[in-house]
A and B are shown apart, each in its own frame.
Chain A
Amino acid sequence: MPLAHLKNVSTLTYRPDRCPGCGLCATVCPHAVFEMDGRKARVTDRDRCMECGACARNCAFGAIDVHAGVGCAYAIMWSALRRKPVPQCGE
């Protein structure tokens, strides 16, 4: 059984019309969500996306958008308990 979390949750969006094919997204993604298909990047499997934000930060053409964050229940709980918008992990 592969290591996979929930399906259809990722906030990743990709606009191929803006992609000039530099390939940096495919280089930085740690889960091979992007691959190069000729002169354009292509999304392989959105469900592997962990929203780390590496692709969007390194896309100089604004073709990728993702609400980046850390998938850590502990951090989310702290932010809920302290009623703060920013997750804080303990003291």
Chain B
Amino acid sequence: MAALKIPEARDLNNEECSCGEECCGGTVEPGTAAPFVETPRFSTGRIETPAGDIPVVPSRLNGRDRRGTFRVRLGLGRGRYAIAPGLYALGAPDRWSPVFVTANYKLSFDRLRKAVPGVNAWILALDTHGINVWCAAGKGAFGTDEVERRIEATGLRNVVSHRTLILPQLGAPGVSAPEVAKRTKFRVLFGPVRAEDLKTFLERGMKAEPEMRRVRFTFKDRLTLIPVELSMIAVSKIFLALAVLWLAAMIAGLDRAGLIGLALAGSIVVGAGLIPALLPWIPGRMFAAKGALLGLIWAAVVCALWGFPPAGAPDAAAFAAALLVLPALSAFLAMNFTGSSTFTSLSGVVAEMKIAVPLMAAAAGLGLVAAGLSVLLRI
């Protein structure tokens, strides 16, 4: 087995990380156009400004918008859910209306406009290649340069008479407010983390309560992510290869192929479904440890279904295989959930991987040997 060398955190610079469709929902290639631009069917007209005609968008989402949200929440076509970057008019804004800055990921754009019914404002959608604000800010696509570029490209100075931009707080990893002010004379105000709090923020004179500045990771937030986690696995080459192997085993009439399939599917559900859902309640700090623990419980269930106590040497080898492979698989998937969580750091994940990856590889390797033995002993 080829050793996977975990790099040092200081050698990693994922400001330029091009998180693919798998994680953040899009592909960042700085300097290129968005991969796909949704026809602005959500626009209800146009408004004349000194910088040209600007598409008008309503705060209320239509059926098409809601179906789009549903689709990307299932993990389908997330990499192609972009709108054209540029300026949009929310309601009927004038020269003194506020300017909200967001990403050109349609889900981000829709959540923003839905959050401020009755507010007339300008929305400046940056070209983040269809990636959400936080992920794009982490890689610099939602960044100081793009803010400057988009202000110039849209002629925003001629559209509004004030010089204030309201950015989502989670854009701050990419946007330097002092730098934007220096370069463009626009003052950057960081709004709340969540679009839902934007209305309150405006009503309180552009002030966010400490609670509105904290990122959360609620049970509901985590449940929302599960379909995406599972669909990412379902389309992966490793999963498809395993599925084909399993089908072949079923057709060949391998002893207990059904139960083996259930065992593997179960540990995928444990790692990518139960871990996200129950995250804070499972003991352990490392995600992989949490996954291994639940995976071990699942492996015990599988052994019970297999028939306890083991009837002979082949069964004992099968038990060893289950108790090693299934926790390793759940631990691996749990570890991959770090990227979807809202609180792990690069240094923290590297530290976890240095401990967890060798252990998982060893367990999986030994488990596969045991599985092979179990089959051989049966013949």
A75 to B6, CA, bound (A): 11
A74 to B337, CA, bound (A): 8
Q: Cβ of B345 and Cβ of A10 under 8 Å apart?
A: yes
Q: Cβ of B280 and Cβ of A5 under 8 Å apart?
A: no
Q: Cβ of B17 and Cβ of A75 under 8 Å apart?
A: yes
A5 to B338, CA, bound (A): 9
**A70 neighbours in B (Cβ, 8 Å):** 14, 17, 19, 135, 138-139, 339, 346
**A43 neighbours in B (Cβ, 8 Å):** none
Q: Cβ of B190 and Cβ of A28 under 8 Å apart?
A: yes
Q: Cβ of A51 and Cβ of B11 under 8 Å apart?
A: no
**A79 neighbours in B (Cβ, 8 Å):** 7, 12, 14
A58 to B294, CA, bound (A): 41
**A interface: dominant SS:** loop
Please, how many residues of chain B have a CB less than 8 angstroms from a CB on the other chain? Answer: 66
Q: Does A67 contact B (CB under 8 A)?
A: yes
Please, how many residues of chain A have a CB less than 8 angstroms from a CB on the other chain? Answer: 48
A76: shortest Cβ distance to chain B, in Å? 6
**B336 neighbours in A (Cβ, 8 Å):** 73-74
A76 to B281, CA, bound (A): 26
A4 to B286, CA, bound (A): 9
Q: CB-CB contacts of B4-28 with A at 8 A, as 1s and 0s?
A: 1111011111111111111110000
**A7 neighbours in B (Cβ, 8 Å):** 285
Q: Cβ of A5 and Cβ of B345 under 8 Å apart?
A: yes
**B179 neighbours in A (Cβ, 8 Å):** 60
Given contacts A57-B173, A58-B175, 6 further A-B contacts (CB under 8 A): A5-B349, A5-B352, A30-B169, A49-B345, A76-B12, A91-B20
Interface residues of B (CB under 8 A from A): 4-7, 9-24, 135, 137-139, 169-170, 172-179, 190, 193, 208, 210, 213-215, 217, 279-281, 283, 285-287, 335-336, 338-339, 341-353
